Amino acid sequence: MRDPDALIARAGVRGDPDRDQHFLVDDRVLDRLPTYLEEIDAETNHLLEIGGGTGALTDRLLDLGDEVTVVERDPDLAAFLREEFADAIDNGRLTVIEGDALEVDLPDFTASVSNLPYGVSSEITFRLLPEGRPLVLMFQQEFAERMVADPGTSEYGRLSVSTQHYADVELVETVPKEAFSPPPAVESAVVRAVPRDPEYDVADEDFFLRFVKALFTQRRKTIRNGIRNTAHISGLADPDAVVDAADEDLLGKRADAMAPAEFAALAELALEVSGLEDD
C-alpha cells in the first residue's frame, strides 16, 4: 500500500482547513475502512469514493474492488490522482471525476467508502442514501452520533429519522484528530449504513422527510403544536384537521420521543385528512 505521507509529498500539497481538506494519514485507519464492507459481504464490483485527496484510501479501495470511481473537486488533486494511478486508469480499473460530488453524475456503484468533506457531509450523504448501496463514511463524531441515535436521547433528531429511514446505521469506529493532516478541530467517526426497506410504508417520501424536518424545528413543543406551527414547512393545507384526527397520546409527545414508524404513520394520516396546499 502507498504511504499516505509520501503521497502528500509527491502531490506537493498541504491540507487546507479553510477548504475542508484534512487528509487521512493513519495507515491503521485507512487499512480498516475497506474491511467494514467485507464484514457484511458487500458487493465490491464498483466502489465509489467521494473526496479522493491524494489517494491513500483510493489505493486501498483498488486492492478491494474490481473498479473504483473517485470524485475529487480540487483540480490539482484530480490531476495528481490521474498521474499517480495512471496504470489503474489505463487498465480500466479507476475513473477520476473532477467536480463537485453534489453536481456530477454518479456512476452505478455497488458501495461507497469515503472520507467526506465535513462541510457538505449531510448533503452528500443524502445524495448517496437513496441509491440503496452499502456506505462506509467518515464524519465529524457529533454528526455521526446523531445519525445513529435512538428516540428519547439528546442526539436524536431529524438526521436520525431521515438516515434510519434508508438504512441500518452503526457507528463502527471513532477516529482521533491526529489521524489527519492537518488535524481537524473535532474528533471523527466512521458510520456504516446497510440499506434496507423501512418497517413502515410512506406514500410520499418527499413529504415524509419534509414533515419530519418541520416537526423537529419545534422539537421542544408537543406534536400538536408542532403540526399547527409548521404548515409553512410541511405544506399541509389544513393542520388543524390533522390534530383533530390524530391520537391524543401521540399529540402529547415531543418530536424527539417519536420513533420513525410513528412519524410515518402520522405523515400518512396528515396527507389523508389534510392534503397539501398545492394539490
Nearby residues of 9 by Cβ (< 8 Å), 6 or more positions away: none
Q: Does domain 205-273 have CATH number 1.10.10?
A: no
Task: Fill in the amino acid letter for 108.
Answer: D
The continuous run of DSSP H or E covering 82 comes out as helix 75-84
For 266-272, what is the mean pLDDT?
96
102 is in an annotated binding site: no
pLDDT recorded at residue 17? 75
Q: Could you tell me which residues are beta bridge partners of residue 70?
A: 49, 96
53 is in an annotated binding site: no
Does residue 277 carry a pLDDT above 90?
no
232 is in an annotated binding site: no
Does residue 201 carry a pLDDT above 90?
yes
pLDDT recorded at residue 16? 76
pLDDT recorded at residue 15? 76
Q: In what order do the strands lie in the sheet with 94-98?
A: 94-98, 67-72, 46-50, 111-115, 135-140, 188-195, 167-175
51 is in an annotated binding site: yes
100 is in an annotated binding site: yes
Nearby residues of 39 by Cβ (< 8 Å), 6 or more positions away: none
For 246-258, what is the mean pLDDT?
96
- The chain-wide mean pLDDT, for the chain, equals 96
Class of domain 4-195: alpha beta
For 50-66, what is the mean pLDDT?
97
* Domain range annotation of the chain: 4-195, 205-273
